[in-house]
Structure 1
Amino acid sequence: MITLTEKAINAVGRFIASSETPSAGLRIEVTDGGCSGYQYGLKLEAENTPDDTVIDCGTVKVFVDPVSFPMLDGMSIDFLDSIDGSGFKFSNPNAAKSCACGSSFNPNPSGTGTKTCS
């Protein structure tokens, strides 16, 4: 599973509350791109699709498509807010290599164990 810290859950909740369109949860996906091969994508979604893995994080639901899930399984997401800026921080045990920006990675083909949402 994918773990969101309390700070990440609160940040997503704020984004959902301030969104002009209804949102049922947060979609996390992996797309081609970035300097390491793949990049993380986050967006608010009105609803999940039938093939999604839905992770209930209390006040926030997370939607992950079946192609992205194996590369994200076991990942932890935090939200940092500092003088240098704010944003989501990804800790992905499936990443064999990550770029310095933290939003691009190269997957490890062996994968890892799962964690639950907290």
Structure 2
Amino acid sequence: MIVTADFFRRTVMSTIAPQLPDREGLIGVLVSRTRKKNVLSPFFAKADGLLIVDPITHAIEFQKNDERTSGSICALILASGAKRLVCGFIAKPERDRLSELGIDIRLGSCASRVESLVRQFATLPTA
């Protein structure tokens, strides 16, 4: 059997290529950062950024909110691919816009640890 480069790429490389996480399973958390620690932000647009958490692998990714506007944080949330969001506060226009686009939004307590909020997502109150 002669193995071509195309055959190699389709068979061998596909088995060793890293599998990307299911973006729909990810949970976005609007956070403020203090001393390299992430806490749930009490603000929506003024949050320091969006923490993307994979609840299965516990992998995290921080995306900075440079512009600090409602439009920019909504765009950041949508671009992340996460379909679930935890925030400390969200105004009705942003809640309605994100909900219409398929984002499941829950409210969390800023006194709770981010890890706990992610773990308890299903029990958090809907925004």
TM-score (norm 2): 0.29
Structure holding more strand per residue: 1
Select the structure with the greater relative contact order (CA < 8 A; seq sep ≥ 6).
1
Larger CA Rg, structure 1 vs 2:
2
TM-score (norm 1): 0.30
